[in-house]
Amino acid sequence: MPDAVVFDLDGVLLDSEQLWNEAKEAVVREFGGHWASEAPRTMLGMSSPEWSVYMRDELGVPLSAEEINDRVVAHMNDGYERELPMLPGAGKTVAALAERWPLGLASSANREIIDKFLRLSGLGDRFEVSLSSEQVDRGKPSPDVYLEVVRRLGAEPERCVAVEDSGNGIRAAAAAGLAVIAVPNPHYPPEDDALELAAATVAGVAGVTPELVEEVGAS
């Protein structure tokens, strides 16, 4: 029986990975940078300090990393205020699992975006711990954000289950020692070597049932 379940946010609970990349591309083009086709996949899992520096140094945005971050987050805030892109079954899955286990949220999104999600979704009281990778030293695929969420939950990594969609997210959770349920992102599917690290794979977050969590946590 697992001690806790830790969710990723973008691509697992929100259909938002492409929205982040649209916001980043808009900032790059607005300020005369050069958008690269590989940029979306390169930035997957990066913390906000990491992708802001990447956009400045590699994509040629002539702003400080802090200004880049602020402009991208402003795009996301505006979009979420208009409509929060919840994935089908996300709310019900979170509610069902919260009845059985403490829940954590380990996201690459900025802290203020996580807080907006928790408020607008009505799921704020379901998560005992939520953390942005900007609050730890390194973003995914490093395990830092998962290790810190599990620590704050008072659990042991090997007794926790993670729900992740991206290759770097799966790698991060697995490196932290959690059993992983993969929910492959259709926009940016994880690489085969990352999927091999998952204990189970489902088509969408609605497939993350208490029974599956028990099975994966016991393996």
Q: Which residues are tagged catalytic?
A: 8, 10
| φ, ψ at 198 (rounded to 5°) | -80, 145
Going from the C-alpha of 31 to that of each of 13, 47, 75, the distances in angstroms are: 31, 22, 15
Which positions ≥6 away from 182 have C-beta within 8 Å?
A: 164, 165, 170, 190, 194, 195, 198, 200, 201, 202
**173 within 8 A of 146, measured Cβ to Cβ:** yes
**23 within 8 A of 77, measured Cβ to Cβ:** no
Which positions ≥6 away from 78 have C-beta within 8 Å?
A: none
Q: What is the identity of the amino acid at 31?
A: F
Can you tell me whether residue 106 is helix, strand or coil? strand
Strand 103-107's sheet: what is its strand order? Answer: 129-132, 103-107, 4-7, 160-164, 179-182, 200-201
